[in-house]
Structure 1
Amino acid sequence: MFASTDGGRSDEETPQQHESIADFYAGKSVFITGVTGFLGKAYLEKLLYSCKDIDKVFVLIRNKRGDDVGKRIEKLLDSSVFSRLRSHRPEDLKKITPVYGDIDKSELGLSLADQERLIKEVSVVFHVAASVNLDADLKTSLVTNYFGTTHVLKLCHRMKKLKVFVYVSTAYCNTTVKVLEEKVYPLPVELDEVVKIMEQPHLDSNRVKKLLNGRPNTYALSKALAEHYIAENHGDIPVIFIRPSIVTSSAREPAPGWADSFQGATALITACWKRVNRVIYGNGDNIIDLIPVDYVSNLSIVAAAKVKSTTEIAVYNSCTSSIKPMTLKGIAEQIERVNTENKQGSIFLPTIFFTSSWLFVIMLTFVLQLLPSFIADLFLYITGNKPMYMKIQSKVLHGRHILNYYTNDSWVFKSDSSQRLQDSLSPADKRLFPCCPSDIKWDEYFNTYFCGIDNYLLKRK
């Protein structure tokens, strides 16, 4: 649970009340994993832009899909996320210091020289890297999300200047509970049992299902296991768990609506907005917890700066359901509002149908999506054009299937600690690092969200 006590901290360790968030990072070096991902890029850009006197930001880079590490760094720096840095302070991009390795390997696959640099210089670690494939098998999820975390924590224990270790988890790792608090929940399976299962050449599906114990997928289980490993092995390292819900495009920074992939719910929301998906499995009153990416990065950066030297783990839910709840029906209304305001309203109402009956899901999907797509493809074929609509439907239905668990249920994630954290900031830091979504206005955000999808993902101005 979030620790508000100063247990064991000496006066010398207590940060001055007037110290700003940027002051905390001044002269310090930070290590971030997962910087080539959506969330990792947001962390990296915000630290460089708003903490001007930060010393270096070490980033873990590995080879991927045939790209060498040099090309990956070049591609990273060319990303639209760094537009304002390139425009105003391009020299600060030189603070990005790549170290080449692999989260899946012992000691992160780092060279001895890079290990020594991190051990001597790093004060704050943000472990953001994760395999977020909700379809992944158990071994794939555990290798990166569980064992990768063990590798990072072991390296942290060797860091001589380390002030705090921030682990980015997920709000959905304990979904057997309907109202989730900011605390570490008990795990119904021993870590040793999971390791033994991992050593087996073939995984029994029944044992995997038993391990999941009501969790939606191996991603959620692997994040829960990683949390428990950290809780049992962090020793005297101050630890923070950040639990974001469904991360969506930015509200304000680095630019309104910024996104770099159809990640999480964005693909399904876009499909509904563009009317290639008309059916959602679930009750329209179910809460769907969306959180803009900049609130997650701000919360993490602020929490690290305000950390207390305690053996208790501070847990922060980066979520909207307990403060600014949004329902599935509410998202549908936002889609219809935006389309109407842009004179793109549908003549077929409602735009989206909600049902908790599989039979109705199948029937409505056939009538409203598959049949029109088949007819459209048939027309394209007859006129000598390449059919495409059934292929689009295949992708849409696959994405919808993955998210069925989340749309057909409802949770409330408490975020009292996040609110208290924001309340503790100076007026200037509240403006620079908004981290509690109590100020979100959904109408404004969805305008920004859809513009961002058009600009950054669909490449249409």
Structure 2
Amino acid sequence: MTVTSQEKEASIVDFYEGKSVFITGGTGFLGKVFIEKLLYSCPGLVKMYMLIREKKGLTIKERIDRFVDDPLFDRLKNQRPKDLEKIVLIPGDMTASNLGISPENENLLIEEVSVIIHSAATVKFNAPLEEAWAINVDGTRRILALCRKMKKAEIFLHISTAYANTNRKEIEEQLYPPPADINELDKMDKHAVTEKQTMKLLNGLPNTYTFTKSLTEHLVAENCAYMPTVIVRPSVVAAILEDPIKGWLENWFGATGISVFTAKGLNRVFLGHKDIVVDVIPVDYVTNLVIIAGARNSNAKELKVYNCCSSACNPLTLGNLQKAFIEDAIKHKTYLMPLPGWFIFTRYKFIATIVTFIFQVVPAYIRDFYRRIIGKKPKYTKIVYLVVQTRLALDFFSSHSWVMRADRVRELYASLSTNDKRLFPCDPTHINWPEYLKDYGAGVRRFLEKRN
């Protein structure tokens, strides 16, 4: 990809001047960071329209107030609180006809929006096919249909996943053949599909999430006939690396939950090997890449795919990830069970099952039995059940390694001006893993566990 001198000089911030953005999935972990970053770093942005589900009993203002009641938005509230008034909630539903958007709001979007960021999806790994399809596939169809009506639309940015092509060991920044015929699946009564039939339909992909996200990429690719279109594939999205708050995060998804469970002594086994590469990417790097890709591809004639990943150029092993969390738990005494650093890796499921029973289930029952004796409510068996379900959902990913190329991402970042590089860092080779993981652990304690 050749980068012209004009592209090098163009400002990312200038691209968003005078424009309005429409975002789906804005209330999610990634969506919140998108909104904060765009509002703060692109002060010339006119409006941030956010698709959001109806909620009875709360006014629009109350919902916005609740949304921004998060340390993530502190710098905006302190420096430019008026900019938060640019957030406009659009009540709707991804699974409803016409997205459940009122005619007035639909007309508003059609007349005003220039940039679309489609981030909404069900991220449940093993959701029934019917549910995953309704949101990830049909929901995207509805978003695309709306966006094609938008008079000012300049770019459509779709957030996919790097794990949409796990049937390949090396994943390039390109569109791969779909795992199934989407037209045939459209005709199928997905409500009647059994779990066994679903596994066959997945065609080697590990779950309905990756399967539907892979198919959705092909729906999005067809959008190039209507407007410039970009697919961004993040890997395991984790805590903020730098901006606006180091270590900020708001959920236990991805690598967070299982790493914390292991550090606390609640998980004693991983299906896999310590040298398996776990592809982690900070959430602010994903956000920055999407913002840059939007500005740089508004005149693109063909589909652009970016892998927002670290495994090919700055790999982190599963063993080192767990070691960092365990050291943090020991240092700050946040573990719950004795010997928090003790756990094993195995390639055999039956060994994982035995270790789980002996070293997780049995101790949990013993501790709950003691709690009953002293008049307290049992809690450990319930926690261990959650731990086991979490680990089982991740077994496929902890026992496989992929090389996910991010050459186009790095080249795009290299094309930026010095100021834009400072504002929108996204080159994964710049991540210092030991420092980042310290901040990650501190973020878990501060934002999830609410410790001082």
TM-score band, normalised by the shorter chain? Answer: over 0.9
User: Contact 2:179–2:202 at 8 Å: present in 1 too?
Assistant: no
Structure 1 residue matching 2:114: 3-state secondary structure: strand
Give the superposition deviation at 1:407.
0.6
Distance 2:223 2:7 in 1: 30
User: 1:120 corresponds to which residue?
Assistant: 111
Structure 1 residues without counterparts, runs of 5 or longer: 7-13
Structure 2 equivalent of residue 100 of structure 1: 91
Query: Is 1:31 equivalent to 2:9 in the alignment?
Result: no
Question: How far apart in 2 are the matches of 1:16 and 1:409?
Answer: 38
Q: 1:179 aligns with which of 170, 173, 177?
A: 170
Distance 1:58 1:79 in 2: 19
Give the counterpart letter for 2:377 in structure 1. Answer: K
Counterpart selection for 1:277 from 253, 267, 285: 267
Identify the residue that residue 294 of structure 2 maps to in structure 1.
304
Alpha-carbon distance between aligned partners in 1 of 2:438 and 2:39, rounded to the nearest angstrom: 28
Q: CA deviation at 1:194?
A: 1.0
Say if 2:179 and 2:211, in contact at 8 Å, map to a contact too: no
| Worse overlay, 119-128 or 271-280 | 271-280
Q: Distance in 2 between matches of 1:97 and 1:238?
A: 25
Output one character per residue of 1:316-335: Cα deviation in whole Å (capped at 9) or x when no partner.
11111011111111112223
The residue type paired with residue 283 of structure 1 is H
Distance 2:326 2:349 in 1: 25
Deviation at 1:106, TM superposition (A): 2.8
What is the Cα deviation at residue 356 of structure 1?
A: 1.1
Report how far residue 69 of structure 1 moved. 5.5
TM-score, scaled relative to structure 2: 0.95
Q: Which residue of 2 aligns with 1:429?
A: 420
Matched-pair contact (CA < 8 Å) for 1:85–1:92? yes
Deviations 1:6-39 (A, max 9, x none): 9xxxxxxx96643311111011111111111111
Quote the Cα distance in structure 2 between the aligned partners of 1:23 and 1:62.
Answer: 32
Name the aligned partner's letter for residue 33 of structure 1. Answer: T
1:401 to 362, 376, 392: 392
Q: 1:135 to 1:81 in 2, by over 3 A?
A: same
Q: Distance in 1 between matches of 2:32 and 2:333?
A: 35
Structure-to-structure mapping, 1:332-371, within 5 angstroms:
332-339=322-329, 341-342=331-332, 348=339, 351-371=342-362
Q: Is the 8 A contact 1:243 1:316 kept in 2?
A: yes
Counterpart contact for 2:265–2:338, Cα < 8 Å? no
Residue equivalent to 2:278: 288
| 1:445 matched to 2:436 | yes
**Structure 1 residues 120 and 175: CA distance shift in structure 2, 3 A:** same
1:214 aligns with 2:189: no
Deviation per residue, 1:397-417 (Å, 9 max, x gap):
111111111111111110001
* Structure-2 change in CA distance of 1:344 and 1:167 (3 Å): closer
Q: How many Å apart are 1:206 and its aligned residue?
A: 4.2
List aligned pairs for 1:123-202, cutoff 5 A.
123-197=114-188, 199=189, 201-202=191-192
Which residue type is aligned with residue 65 of structure 2?
Answer: E
CA contact (8 A) 1:272 1:278 kept: yes
- Could you tell me which runs of 5 or more consecutive residues in structure 2 were left unpaired when the two chains were aligned: none
TM-score by length of 1: 0.93
Letter of the 2:148 counterpart: H
- Distance across 1 between alignment mates of 2:138 and 2:211: 13
Structure 1 equivalent of residue 448 of structure 2: 457
- The partner residue of 2:243 within 253, 267, 273 is 253
Which shifted more, 135-144 or 339-348? 339-348
Partner of 1:55: 46
Are 1:69 and 1:100, in contact at CA under 8 Å, matched by a contact in 2?
no
Post-superposition Cα deviations, 1:330-371, rounded to whole Å, max 9, x if no partner, equal 112223443455578998485321111122112222232222
Pick the aligned partner of 1:388 from 379, 391, 397: 379
Separation in 2, partners of 1:15, 1:450: 42
Residue identity matched to 1:169: S
Alignment size in residue pairs: 451
- In 2, the alpha carbon distance for the partners of 1:402 and 1:70 equals 38
Q: Report the AA paired with residue 51 of structure 2.
A: L
Moved more, 245-254 or 360-369: 360-369
Q: In structure 2, do the counterparts of structure 1 residues 367 and 229 end up closer, same or farther at CA, with 3 Å as the change threshold?
A: same
Summarize the Cα distance change of 1:200–1:398 in structure 2 as closer, same or farther, 3 Å threshold: closer
Letter aligned with residue 284 of structure 2:
D
CA distance in 2, matches of 1:183, 1:372: 48
